[in-house]
Amino acid sequence: MTSNGARLLPITSFLTLAIALTAGTGWGQTSGTGPKDANSACSTSVATDVPQASISNGPIYAVVYLPDAKNGYYRSSRFDWSGVIPCLTYKGHNYFGIWFPQHDPLVADSLTGPVEEFRSADGALGYNDAEAGGVFVKPGIGILRKVDDAPYKYNSAYTVLDAGEWTIRTKKTSVTMKQRLQSPVGYSYDYQKVLRLDGHQPVLVIEHVMKNTGTKTIDSDVYDHDFYTLDGAPTGPGMVIHFPFVPIPSSPLEPGAEIVGKDIVYKQELLPRPRGTVTAFLSGFSNKASDYDFTFENRDTGTGVEQTSDSPMSNFNLWSIRTTVAPEAYIHVHIAPGETQRWSIRYRFFAKDVLPEK
């Protein structure tokens, strides 16, 4: 049961979870709960009772929660079920973590890491065409039921009727998650997301491939919410987001933050919600992929991450509260029936060699 009383019904489709938790095992049929060799920095922040895998290239260690309609950490209707990272460490620093007071798998934003949401002009594919009680589609989730004739509400918990067929493969440095969905309203697809650690650098790459197997064009934006939580420090002075362009906010960032040249600089420690929120859509970027290059760091600790892509930004929203900073870069997806689109996002993590004194 969710906070607004909605309940997710059992999945009606055949749902395959092929999960292998050891390197080089290929496609398998065993489920995993909790990495037995969990990095000590992750051991206190990772749930042990949900399907997951751990990956490492040496410098980076990360835990990835796996899609599962019955036992998954996240089973709600806003975000793509794949790619949820509760912990990623580099040089003893943790970049993702719990930012909310209480976890509920059926609450729309109760998850962590560089999670993604597909957001179309209707809010979701086919939402405005559906009658009350009809169905619409959100990639990475599945077929959902429309409650009434009200506009789409991204933070509502819509009933998931069909999560398609998920297949999952894990290796030492990567996790591959594939979803195949066939809907009765023309929106069908084969969607693959790969989380891959670079073999030599502190880099995570998220690779996406979507093939339109339906009869209607898939036209949507998709963004990474990120939910950065650098070592769990409260959002405040020392934290900066740097862009290759001068950001122009749609609304004032003060008093919590301000624009200084090409930077968003946090001026004071943010208060608990709702008073401490710093949020605005940003403009000022071009249609070049090179403008999708921003860095979020805590300059007091020397810890941060640079995020780049092979695709241009179609929009940008900043959402930050006391417990997390979320620079949300959007990428436009337009896939005609029978066509395929690919895009990738690259995260380069950096940190001082010595942890700050507590």
Sign of CA dihedral 280, 141, 310, 341: negative
What's residue 39's pLDDT? 60
What's residue 274's pLDDT? 77
* Ranges in the chain, pLDDT < 50: 1-38, 355-358
The answer, yes or no, to whether the previous bond of 255 is cis (omega within 30 of 0) is yes
Mean pLDDT score of the chain: 89
Q: What is this structure's pTM? A: 0.88
* Rounded-to-integer distance, Cα 274 and Cα 34, Å: 34
Q: State pLDDT tens for residues 166-192.
A: 999 999 999 999 999 999 999 999 999
The DSSP code sequence of 271-317 is: PSTTTT-EEEEEE---SSGGG-EEEEEETTTTEEEEEEESS--SEEE
Q: State pLDDT tens for residues 262-276.
A: 999 999 999 998 789
Q: Structure tokens of 211? A: 């093939």
Residues 6+ apart with CB under 8 A from 310: 289, 343, 344
The DSSP code sequence of 190-208 is: EEEEEEEE-SSSSEEEEEE
* Rounded-to-integer distance, Cα 55 and Cα 319, Å: 28
Rg, the chain, Cα only: 20
